[in-house]
Amino acid sequence: MTPGAPPRIASVRVEAPARLHLGFIDVSGSLGRRFGSLGLTLADFQTVVEMHRGTGIDAEGPGADRALAHLRRLLDDYDPPDGVRLQIHRSIPEHVGLGSGTQMAFAIGRAFGLLFGIPFVPGDLATRLDRGARSGIGIGAFCEGGFVVDGGRAPGGGYPPLVARLPFPPAWRVLLVFDGTARGLHGESEREAFQRLRAFPQSDAARLAHLVLMAAMPALVETDCPRFGAAIGDIQRSVGDHFAIAQGGRFASPAVAEVLAWIESRDIAGIGQTSWGPTGFAIIDSEVRAHALVAEARQRFAHHTALRFAITRGRNEGHTAETRPAVPVDAVDIHDPDESANRTA
Peptide bond into 278 cis (omega under 30): yes
Amino acid 341 reads A
What would you report as the CA-atom Rg of the chain, rounded to the nearest whole angstrom?
21
Calpha distance 246→197 (Å, rounded) = 7
In this prediction the pTM is 0.90
Bridge partner list, 132: none
Calpha distance 71→276 (Å, rounded) = 27
Q: Please report the pLDDT score of residue 282 as a whole number.
A: 98
Q: Is the dihedral of CA 285, 290, 293, 298 positive or negative?
A: positive
CA dist 78 → 5, 8, 71, 125, 323 (Å)? 21, 17, 11, 12, 20
Per-residue pLDDT of the chain (345 residues; tens, 9 = 90+): 444 446 689 999 999 999 999 999 999 998 889 999 999 999 999 999 999 999 889 999 999 999 999 999 999 999 999 999 999 999 999 999 999 999 999 999 999 999 999 999 999 999 999 887 788 999 999 999 999 999 999 988 778 999 999 999 999 999 999 999 988 767 777 777 777 788 899 999 999 999 999 999 999 999 999 999 999 999 999 999 998 888 888 999 999 999 999 999 999 999 999 998 999 999 999 999 999 999 999 999 999 999 999 999 999 999 999 999 976 544 444 444 444 444 444
